[in-house]
Chain A
Amino acid sequence: MSDEIEYTGICKTCSHAPTCAYRKRSDKPIWYCEEFDNYIPAPKKSTSSGLISILEDIQARYGYLPEGSLRVVAEKTNRSLVDIYGVATFYRAFSLKPRGKHLISVCLGTACHVRGAPAIAEEFQQQLGIRAGETTSDKEFTLETVNCLGACALGPIVVADGHYFSSVKASMVNSIIEKTLAGLDKVEIKTDQRVFPVEVSCSRCNHSLMDTRHLIDGYPSIRVTVSFNHKHGWLALSSLYGSDNVDSEYPIPLDTIVNFFCPHCHTELIGSSDCAECGAPMIPMIVRGGGVVQICSRRGCKGHMLDLSGTIID
């Protein structure tokens, strides 16, 4: 389940602490919030071992390590700021400077190097007008070089916002930048072959969940009942595999874990597996003709799984 609301990494939901956007997993403490930096619960276990993953979590949220966050981390882990700074600067993955909206990593591993990666890196530098490790002045792009991404057979490799490009040639650089700017996840719903409708039914009563009167993306939607934060109402999901469009009675705040119910038999749609992306429970539905589709119950998470031979495993 996902939506179009864009969040920039600044906490907007602190007024309802239980659904704070920074709180990805319930067992993870919130380390830093630019708006409410007094709201920082103590970590459950005070071990230093977590430091690197704490910094990784912060970086995952903000795209870099804000100074304030390092101060808070130092305080909460009972380690000196110098110590934290040491760790933050020792590892390549951390950045102390804000980064751009899009991250382009050019692999400079040996295999990529002998296949001409330096020329690719140079082409990116020239086209973006920045050097590796820098961010464009419009804060759109950050360019970095990495030591090896482990896809050596297909070098030179470039990763833009998590999308891999293989056997990159200098002549492809321009189009990679353009595609990244346009959004790499974007699919043309009407023409893309990878998008197709999936008809589903309730995993308990087997009643169809398709709503032919309520169309989304031009197809009958999947209608379920949802409950969250003491609210209870309907939710219509696009039946197109590959589309994230939804419609709902009440707006659902981002990152809320929602309970799904069958509108016909009123049982909760719940399976036994968790989302591979975020760990929230997955919602199973039966695919017409055989198979199961599961979607993540967390608003904003795109975790899903279409298993055409599978049955629901207890």
Chain B
Amino acid sequence: MKKLSSISELTDFRHRILSEKKFEHEKLTLVVSAGTCGQASGANDIIRVIKRCILERSLQENIEIRVTGCHGFCDTEPSILVEPGLHLYPKLSIEDVPRVIEAALTGDIDEELIYREPQGQKRYYCQSDIPFFRKQTRTIIASNQKLDPIRIHNYIEQGGYAALEKVLLKSDPEWIIREVQESGLRGRGGAGFPTGKKWELARASNNGKGQKYIVCNCDEGDPGAYMDRSLLEGNPHSIIEGMMIAGIAIGATKAFIYVRGEYPLAIKHTIIALRQATDLGLLGENILNTGIDFDIEIVRGAGAFVCGEETALIKSIEGYMGEPRQRPPYPVEKGIRGCPTCINNVETLANIPVIISGGAKEYAKVGIPGNTGTKIFSLVGKIRNTGLVEVPLGIKISEVVYDIGGGPLGKAKIKAVQTGGPSGGCIPASMFDLPISYDSLAEAGSIMGSGGMIVMDDNTCMVDVAKYFMNFLKGESCGKCFTCRKGTQRMYEILDDITKGKARLEDLDLLEELALVVKDTTMCGLGQTASNPVLSTLRYFRHEFKRHIVDKRCDAFVCKELVGAPCQSACPLGTEAWRYVAHIARGEYKEAYRVIREPNPFPSICARVCDHPCESKCRAGTTGGEPVAIRSLKRFITDRFDPSTYTPKRTEWSDGEPPSVAIIGSGPAGLTAAHHLSLKGCKVTVFEAEAETGGMLTCAIPSYRLPRDIIRNEIDSLLDENITVKCNTALGKDITIKGLFKDNYKAVLLAMGAHKSRPLKLENEDVEGVYPSIEFLKAFNLRGELHAKGKVGVIGGGNSAIDAARVAIRQRDVESVTILYRRTRDEMPAFVEEIEAADQEDINIQTLVTPVKIIAENGHISAIECIKNELGDVDSSGRRRPVPIEGTEHTIQLDTLIVAIGEDSSTDCIDPVSESEIEITKWGTVQADSKTFLTNLPGVFAAGDLVTGPNTVVEAIAAGKKAAVMIERFLKNEELVRPAEPCIPKVYIEPVAVDDEMQKAGRARTPQAPAEWRKRSFAEIEVSLSVDEATREAMRCLRCDLEFTKKPEVEEKKTLPIGEKMA
């Protein structure tokens, strides 16, 4: 490389590069993003295979390859971006590379490999059309994909060092400072101090030492932020140029780049860039013959968060422990070795060439007053599109999270974003309308920080997050200030106690007080902001802290000591799933049945229709594999035992005459409560409005999922001499609440469920052929009436819609069944396996359609008019709202329409007796206390769907059981609410020896009857597992319980070999 010796030579050099490049302007180029994140996902392999293809096919003349830093969309890596068309091929494997090259050569696009939106199948052929990119303003980071960071020519070709040229020609440092001040640029490191102001102070500062320094701060210690790495790694020359301009502005001739040791690639690229700039004569003595000297040295940080604080950073550069010191004097007055030192963040410096080249006025047009320009955020955590996003300041959080980030990762709802790293705070989803600026974030109790934006969803525990940051800070506190050193330690201990269920409510006040003291009495930024994670989570998520302390529950399933075995805590009944699974592995089936039956009076029913929350939390599934098929194992056991053989423990009523309790409704909630109270010696009468007991179990759930004899057997086994069942007796018609108390009932439990289908509220909904789903299912399940005829349409996407559709297709006169749902398939609330089964049975599922009109002929439905939807903004449920597309109205011919858009609680029967004054919520459910189940009337309890709205069977059983406990305490005049205990495993079950093969095996698939056969039959579809299958499946259990249970010491040490003791 020839050394340039004047400004005009630099200009000529650029012109020469550009004229050489002209010929290649439209040349096919494969751009590979190979920053740290790219390399972590395998970009280097992609590059090698591209080179191999080029060599093997001698394509050197046709294809160029450009290896660049991070493009920002890290989630798609390893990727190839094909220029000039900007076709983005994401997540490639090395086998895909030849296909991409082939398509590029022929000018085609590989439809299969091109970028698609993760939800929905829409393809995007051009990078700039992709929602992730479209809504950004990529002033700074867009350069990354245009240049190879280890080639200075690339940078110059992109207009690099033009700002330096301008500055050198102007030869007026005051002008630079004026420009930067006018641009309104604020420090991107976090505090947001105006950069121009800092430079002015540094320029004016003169303490007689002569030397001044520029420092580029790339000690990006905030865990979760990595834009500085990406910029230094992907475009190091822009930082060098920014530093040189800063140096000229303040009169510094020496500079340091302080980089974290954890960023090896950034260090490597910076070293190369410095070497090249020196070789070209842009760094060193008498730069381009202007008489200006400027030298940059790279300093590697050695892993200390506090070194991001400017006074600590200076100490570290000087070779000492990175302890901060009191300010003032500020570094601009007294910095490295006592000389004035101007410290700027990487991103701040990256903005400088942009401001100088484009002009301050242009720059200030972006953003909002007081917060100009763009800011890069690292959008990471529980979000679909992770990566670096550059947006104008003032944009709303929701735009970043939903429009650019694409919303939540899975079905879990986004709960908060954490900004500003350990010095920042958590902002709840309810505040996502907040415009992002230095000031608004501070007001919300967080800070801008270096731009980390970590998205958290329902599976993130906010107490754990606060504890995580406090653990980090107590480790990183340098120890100089007592309050920081000890305060962070004590705050951590309190948070730790909370996550372990050992804290009291008073501790929250102590925690808050401690946090405020630490904030007020520490010296540096680390200590002053160390309380933010605690204070902001306490401010917005106090309920989670209380839930940990009072209920001993961690709803995110993060805090181990409260979660115990996830399967057990996830079960509303607290069934020890791990325990019966362990028994199955050991071949102890009787024991297994006892464990299943003890907490659950309906085990055979749950073995078929439970939504198995245990499986969704199973650690075998959440850690990357497939969850243990717990429900199938339950089925395996319950199939082997007759429910009547189990004899539960009974007690006599000790307090004199046994009291009478009235239970309204014989669904799972009502019957469970009746059973439980009967075991305690109460006299129970169950009133049922229908002719049959079972509630939703019998009237809604089809028999191919739940055979009738199974329901009968299980219910019969529960009924005993303490329980009287009165069918065809409806509340409000045959009985009243007041009347029951007159009849000497001491307590009443309302458990009528939610049997009222919600209407579409369209004209003609009352014509013949239109049925609410519950009515349709009841008519068939209870009375055998076949209402579905010809072409059947079902509106809705929940379980009840699928049930209705699958029942309809089994009816004699049905031609076809179509489900119409207004959102996408991913958002259907029905169980996945139910949707799949519907598919297999040739039920047509149309998504993104909404009915707008029911067309009737002669009083009978003839067709339905629908409109197509597209996904719009995110609504309050965190899902993207379906928005009708005008002009897409179309009609679908129908003979039958079933409306299954949800059910309301059966409060109708209460309304007519409103003199009983039961309080109803605005959602039409009965108001009952979540812990005591008491309604506003003394002695009247309510539980199940009636209180919660439509819910699962297992939730109803659990509610019935808990309500029964409350009724028992009420009758005995005891305190209703007692302190909670964490639900953790207590019994030790010796594990069997499991070989690796077994643990790696996939989840057992429950055998199912073939779709063709079952379409016309109501016989049960699922078949039980075989002994062998069940044993293998049980052995896949990770035995989370063993962490909590201890092997009794007396017992002999012996593990059971596989296969022994099997039935």
Question: Interface residues, chain A, CB within 8 Å of chain B?
Answer: 47-53, 55-56, 83, 86-87, 90-94, 108-116, 119, 123, 146-155, 157, 162, 164-166, 169-172, 193-194, 196, 198, 241-242, 272, 274, 276-277, 287, 289-291, 306, 308-309, 313-314
Closest to B1000 in A: A171
User: Out of B1, B55, B223, B317, which one reaches A272, CB within 8 Å?
Assistant: B1
Given the interface pairs A111-B223, A111-B381, the reply to whether A93 lies near B421 with Cβ below 8 Å is no
**Chain B residues near A242 (CB-CB < 8 A):** 48
Within 8 A of A (CB), among B702-743: none
CB distance from B256 to the nearest CB of A (A): 9
13 more A-B residue pairs beyond the given contacts A110-B454, A111-B378, A287-B55, with a C-beta to C-beta distance below 8 A: A52-B301, A108-B223, A110-B223, A110-B465, A115-B382, A150-B226, A152-B225, A164-B39, A164-B41, A193-B49, A196-B52, A289-B55, A308-B60
Complex CA distance for A115 and B378, rounded to whole angstroms:
15
**CB–CB B61/A290 < 8 A:** yes
Complex CA distance for A94 and B64, rounded to whole angstroms:
43
CB distance from A74 to the nearest CB of B (A): 12
Within 8 A of A (CB), among B371-386: 378-382, 386
**CB–CB B300/A241 < 8 A:** no
Complex CA distance for A172 and B1000, rounded to whole angstroms:
11
**CB–CB B1/A314 < 8 A:** yes
| In the complex, B320 has a CB within 8 A of chain A | yes
Show 6 residue pairs from A and B whose CB-CB distance is below 8 angstroms, ordered by the A residue. A83-B320, A90-B478, A147-B223, A147-B305, A152-B223, A314-B1
CB distance from A304 to the nearest CB of B (A): 11
CB distance from B488 to the nearest CB of A (A): 15
Within 8 A of A (CB), among B568-582: none
Instruction: From B198-206, B261-269, B597-605, give the one contacting chain A.
Output: B261-269
Closest to B388 in A: A153
CB distance from A142 to the nearest CB of B (A): 15
CB distance from A191 to the nearest CB of B (A): 12
CB distance from B191 to the nearest CB of A (A): 20
| In the complex, B822 has a CB within 8 A of chain A | no
Complex CA distance for A86 and B263, rounded to whole angstroms:
24
The 9 closest A-B pairs by CB, nearest first: A169-B624, A164-B40, A290-B60, A109-B223, A153-B74, A92-B303, A91-B302, A51-B319, A170-B623
| In the complex, B54 has a CB within 8 A of chain A | yes
**Chain A residues near B418 (CB-CB < 8 A):** 110
Complex CA distance for A313 and B1021, rounded to whole angstroms:
72
Q: How many A-B residue pairs have CB under 8 A?
A: 207
**CB–CB A93/B303 < 8 A:** yes
CB distance from B222 to the nearest CB of A (A): 7
**Chain A residues near B421 (CB-CB < 8 A):** 110
**CB–CB B54/A308 < 8 A:** yes
**CB–CB A109/B320 < 8 A:** no
**CB–CB B303/A109 < 8 A:** no
**CB–CB A86/B321 < 8 A:** yes
**CB–CB B224/A148 < 8 A:** yes
Given the interface pairs A93-B261, A171-B624, A274-B275, the reply to whether A148 lies near B221 with Cβ below 8 Å is yes
**Chain A residues near B623 (CB-CB < 8 A):** 116, 119, 123, 169-171
**Chain B residues near A306 (CB-CB < 8 A):** 51
**CB–CB A276/B55 < 8 A:** no
Interface size, chain B (Cβ < 8 Å) = 83
Given the interface pairs A147-B223, A193-B52, A290-B60, the reply to whether A114 lies near B304 with Cβ below 8 Å is no
Within 8 A of A (CB), among B450-476: 452, 454, 456, 460, 465, 468-469, 472, 476
Question: Interface residues, chain B, CB within 8 Å of chain A?
Answer: 1-2, 36-37, 39-41, 45, 48-49, 51-52, 54-56, 58, 60-61, 64-65, 74-75, 77, 94-95, 150, 153, 220-226, 229-230, 260-264, 268, 271-272, 275, 299-305, 316-322, 378-382, 386-388, 418, 421, 452, 454, 456, 460, 465, 468-469, 472, 476, 478, 622-625
**Chain B residues near A146 (CB-CB < 8 A):** 262, 303
CB distance from A132 to the nearest CB of B (A): 12
**Chain A residues near B625 (CB-CB < 8 A):** 169, 171
**Chain A residues near B54 (CB-CB < 8 A):** 308
**Chain A residues near B36 (CB-CB < 8 A):** 149-151, 164
CB distance from A195 to the nearest CB of B (A): 8
**CB–CB B262/A149 < 8 A:** yes
**CB–CB A152/B275 < 8 A:** no
**CB–CB B60/A55 < 8 A:** no
CB distance from A287 to the nearest CB of B (A): 7
User: Out of B272, B380, B465, B472, which one reaches A155, CB within 8 Å?
Assistant: B380
**Chain A residues near B452 (CB-CB < 8 A):** 110-111, 152
**Chain A residues near B299 (CB-CB < 8 A):** 49, 52-53
User: Out of A92, A108, A123, A154, which one reaches B74, CB within 8 Å?
Assistant: A154
CB distance from B208 to the nearest CB of A (A): 21
Given the interface pairs A110-B223, A115-B381, the reply to whether A90 lies near B304 with Cβ below 8 Å is yes
Given the interface pairs A86-B321, A87-B320, the reply to whether A151 lies near B1 with Cβ below 8 Å is no
Give the one of B223, B272, B421 with max A CB within 10 A. Answer: B223
User: Out of B64, B222, B302, B316, which one reaches A92, CB within 8 Å?
Assistant: B302
Complex CA distance for A249 and B460, rounded to whole angstroms:
62
Complex CA distance for A66 and B263, rounded to whole angstroms:
25
Complex CA distance for A220 and B998, rounded to whole angstroms:
47
**CB–CB A152/B380 < 8 A:** yes
CB distance from B193 to the nearest CB of A (A): 24
Closest to A169 in B: B624
**CB–CB A48/B318 < 8 A:** yes
**CB–CB A148/B321 < 8 A:** no
CB distance from A298 to the nearest CB of B (A): 16
**CB–CB B56/A196 < 8 A:** yes
**CB–CB A52/B316 < 8 A:** yes
Closest to B27 in A: A309
CB distance from B347 to the nearest CB of A (A): 14
Complex CA distance for A49 and B264, rounded to whole angstroms:
20
**Chain B residues near A153 (CB-CB < 8 A):** 37, 74-75, 378-380, 386-388
